[in-house]
């Protein structure tokens, strides 16, 4: 019974998914020429809201399944993050799903919830088997959602893109994903086989053999694609361009956070003592991600691709924080991921709105936005300033703290290069703002987002600005969450501290 209490959230999401499925099956088939109401969608929204509230009301801690799952504040923090992302993604996508795939709506939500089940299990998972299952559970529905609109038309700008690319987007995501899964499995086989256990706490008990080290880096590489780190990032721009934008909003934040939490669990917690094996490659990957992400974002004309590359760079900054490899660094990583969640989701949803208003996905869709819709322009301004790291929105604090944590841990070169590369980001973020505030072609209509979409953008805006003005509460929460993961190792459970440092 205690186990059920500890696992209540993932189980509740499963229950929500089942309910959604049943409701969808029981809904009368829509009459021809009539757009079915997004009932399942709203059900999902309210369900997620309830669950999110529930995590604040009911916070059990403890272990389940013989220690394979451990619910702690770290897990709770991340679970709230995922629920929030799911909620905002659902709000943002309600209208789009109804319009583009009216007869297949229910399954979309089912896929979203399935992915969320995987995500909510991940932060608490303490066994590599559970981790990989939950990871795949998160990932596979994403392939389906990416390709959901199949080859249906996308919103056009100046008469371009008559054909849909969702299928291609989904396929590329899938291919990289499946390859990475195989690589991860191979690496896990070597790692767990040679270390003799799948439990994270026991992973460091014996010193790493070369074979186990090989397995370790395979796992690192295999997990990298979800986060979008270089060189496993190449699916990102294509998928962001081809899939439906509200889904991309969700994709750009939640799986990345989940991937980061897995990285943290496996490497910081499980293999903390073997820092010298995985830290240097991680640092190099961080540097490459910041570099490639920022450089390749510059020439983009499709804003979805640009934001995709921007996300690659942002994950580079997060990896810098992970490279600090201590509790404070992890806390700041969590803080960054939270801020990034609202920022990026919001940015994509605004882009979705302007594209739907007839502008397409290039810079032209932003033209004159300050006149057409001052609130939208203001929201986009805040989101872009946050991405660029300009005071006083949350992105500023996030970047500051992450770099600070890495600096304090001695990663000086990484921090300096990070700062220089982050400056490049200003170029392309501000270009969007220039289009919104300083150009005006004058012939684009006023964007009229649906109420749910407005609500989602509004919530993101409030979070980005509010947390930017008063970050203290969030800083304290994320520091506590970070300590919860790393501290048990420090407290010395005998796990692998026979060796160096």
Partner 1 sequence: MTLSHVLMLASALFCVGVYGLLTRRQAIAILLSVELMANAANLVFIAMSRFRGGVTGQVFALFSLAITVAEVAVGLALVILLYRSHADTRVDLASELKQ
Partner 2 sequence: MTPPVLYALVALWTPAIAALLLAILYPLRKKGQPAAVVAILGSLVSLGAAITLFTDRLHDDATHRLVVPWIGSGASTIAEVGVHVDGVSASMLVVVTLVATCVQVFSIGYMHDEPPEAYGRYFTYHALFLFSMNLLVVAPNILQLFAGWELVGVTSYLLIGFYFKKPSAARAAVKAFWVTKFADMGLLFGLLVLFAASGTFGWEPTLSPPVATAVTLLFFLAVVGKSAQFPLHVWLPDAMEGPTPVSALLHAATMVAAGVFLVVRANPLFEQAPITRSIMLGLGAATALFAALLALVQTDIKKTLAYSTCSQLGYMVAALGAGSMLGGFFHLTTHAFFKALLFLAAGSAIHAVHSNEITDMGGLAKRMPLTATAFSVGALALAGVPGLSGFFSKDLVLESVEGKLGNVPYAVLMLTAFLTAFYMGKVVFVAFFGKPSGEKAAHAHESGPSMSGPLVVLMVPTVVAGYFGATFAKVQGEPYHFAFGAGPATASALGLAGIGLAYAVYGRGPRAAVPAPIAMIDRVAKTRAVNRVYEWGFRNVTLVLADGLAFIDRYVVDGLINLLGWGAIEGGRKLRPIQTGLAPDYVLAVVLGVVGLAVWAVFGSWR
State which residue, 219 or 456, has the beta carbon closest to partner 2.
219
CA–CA gap between residue 307 and residue 300 (Å, rounded) = 9
| C-alpha separations of 254 from 38, 92, 112, 313 in Å | 23, 14, 11, 16
Position 237 contacts partner 2 (CB under 8 A): yes
Quick one: tokens of 294? 């920022």
| C-alpha separations of 36 from 24, 107, 328, 431, 448 in Å | 11, 14, 49, 40, 21
Position 494 contacts partner 2 (CB under 8 A): no
Binding mask 139-178 for partner 2 (x = CB under 8 A): --------------------------------xx--xx--
Angle at 345 between CA 342 and CA 349, to 5 degrees: 130
214 binds, among partner 1, partner 2, none (CB under 5 to 8 A by kind): partner 2
| C-alpha separations of 15 from 19, 44, 117, 287, 416 in Å | 6, 11, 10, 42, 47
Position 220 contacts partner 2 (CB under 8 A): yes
Nearest distance in Å: CB 107, partner 1:
12
Nearest distance in Å: CB 216, partner 2:
7
Collapsing DSSP to helix, strand or coil, 99 comes out as helix
Among 90, 119, 297, 384, binds partner 2 (CB under 8 A): 297
State which residue, 10 or 482, has the beta carbon closest to partner 2.
482
State which residue, 293 or 418, has the beta carbon closest to partner 1.
293
* Cα 238 to the center of its chain, rounded Å: 17
| C-alpha separations of 28 from 16, 47, 49, 340 in Å | 20, 22, 26, 40
Given the rule CB under 8 A, which residues bind partner 1?
129, 132-133, 136, 140, 143-144, 147, 150-151, 165, 167-172, 174-175, 177-179, 181-183, 185-186, 188-190, 192-194, 196-198, 211, 237-238, 241-242
Place of tokens 């690659």: 312
State which residue, 47 or 272, has the beta carbon closest to partner 2.
272
The H helix count followed by the E strand count for the chain is 20, 2
46 binds, among partner 1, partner 2, none (CB under 5 to 8 A by kind): none
Among 30, 193, 299, 391, binds partner 2 (CB under 8 A): 299
Q: Which of residues 264-293 bind partner 2 (CB under 8 A)?
A: 276-277, 280-281, 292
The answer to whether 342 touches 401, Cβ cutoff 8 Å, is no
CA–CA gap between residue 326 and residue 406 (Å, rounded) = 9
Position 387 contacts partner 2 (CB under 8 A): no
SS3 content of the chain, % helix, strand, coil (to 5): 75, 0, 25
Nearest distance in Å: CB 203, partner 1:
13
Position 298 contacts partner 2 (CB under 8 A): yes
Among 11, 21, 23, 234, binds partner 2 (CB under 8 A): 234
Place of tokens 């059990």: 60
- Which spans of this chain sit near partner 2 (rule: CB under 8 A)? 171-172, 175-176, 179-180, 183, 210, 213-214, 216-218, 220-222, 224-225, 230-232, 234-235, 237-238, 276-277, 280-281, 292, 294-299, 420, 423-424, 427, 472, 475-476
């Amino acid at each position: 019974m205690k186990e059920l209490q500890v696992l209540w959230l993932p189980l509740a999401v499963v229950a929500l998914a089942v309910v959604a499925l049943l409701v969808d099956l029981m809904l009368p088939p829509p009459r021809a020429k009539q757009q079915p109401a997004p009932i399942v969608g709203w059900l999902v929204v309210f369900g997620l809201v309830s669950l999110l509230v529930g995590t604040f009301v009911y916070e059990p801690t403890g272990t389940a399944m013989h220690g394979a799952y451990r619910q702690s504040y770290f897990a709770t923090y991340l679970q709230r993050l995922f629920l929030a992302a799911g909620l905002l993604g659902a709000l943002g996508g309600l209208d789009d799903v109804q319009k583009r795939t009216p007869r297949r709506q229910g399954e979309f939500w089912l896929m979203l919830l399935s992915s969320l089940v995987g995500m909510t299990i991940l932060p608490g998972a303490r066994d590599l088997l559970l981790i990989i299952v939950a990871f795949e559970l998160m990932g596979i529905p994403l392939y389906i959602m990416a390709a959901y609109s199949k080859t249906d038309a996308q919103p056009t700008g100046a008469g371009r893109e008559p054909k849909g690319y969702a299928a291609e987007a989904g396929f590329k995501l899938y291919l990289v994903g499946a390859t990475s899964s195989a690589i991860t499995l191979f690496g896990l086989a070597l790692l767990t086989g040679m270390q003799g256990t799948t439990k994270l706490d026991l992973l460091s008990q014996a010193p790493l053999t070369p074979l186990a080290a090989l397995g370790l880096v395979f796992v690192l590489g295999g997990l990298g694609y979800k986060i979008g780190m270089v060189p496993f990032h190449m699916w990102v721009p294509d998928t962001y361009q081809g899939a439906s934008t509200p889904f991309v909003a969700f994709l750009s934040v939640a799986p990345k956070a989940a991937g980061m939490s897995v990285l943290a669990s496996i490497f910081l917690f499980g293999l903390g003592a073997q820092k010298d094996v995985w830290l240097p490659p991680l640092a190099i990957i961080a540097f490459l991600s910041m570099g490639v992400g920022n450089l390749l974002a510059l020439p983009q004309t499709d804003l979805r691709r640009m934001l995709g590359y921007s996300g690659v760079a942002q994950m580079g900054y997060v990896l810098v924080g992970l490279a600090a490899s201590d509790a404070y660094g992890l806390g700041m990583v969590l803080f960054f991921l939270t801020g990034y969640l609202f920022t990026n989701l919001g940015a994509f949803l605004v882009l979705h709105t302007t594209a739907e208003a007839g502008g397409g996905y290039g810079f032209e869709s932003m033209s004159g936005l300050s006149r057409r819709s001052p609130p939208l322009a203001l929201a986009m301004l805040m989101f872009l300033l946050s991405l660029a790291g300009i005071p006083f929105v949350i992105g500023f604090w996030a970047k500051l703290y992450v770099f600070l944590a890495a600096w304090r841990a001695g990663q000086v070169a990484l921090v300096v290069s990070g700062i220089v590369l982050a400056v490049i980001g200003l170029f392309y973020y501000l270009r969007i703002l220039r289009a919104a505030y300083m150009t005006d072609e004058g012939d684009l209509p006023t964007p009229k987002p649906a109420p749910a979409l407005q609500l989602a953008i509004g919530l993101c805006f409030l979070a980005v600005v509010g947390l930017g003005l008063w970050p203290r509460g969030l800083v304290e929460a994320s520091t506590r969450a970070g300590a919860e993961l790393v501290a048990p190792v420090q407290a010395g459970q005998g796990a692998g501290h026979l060796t160096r440092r």
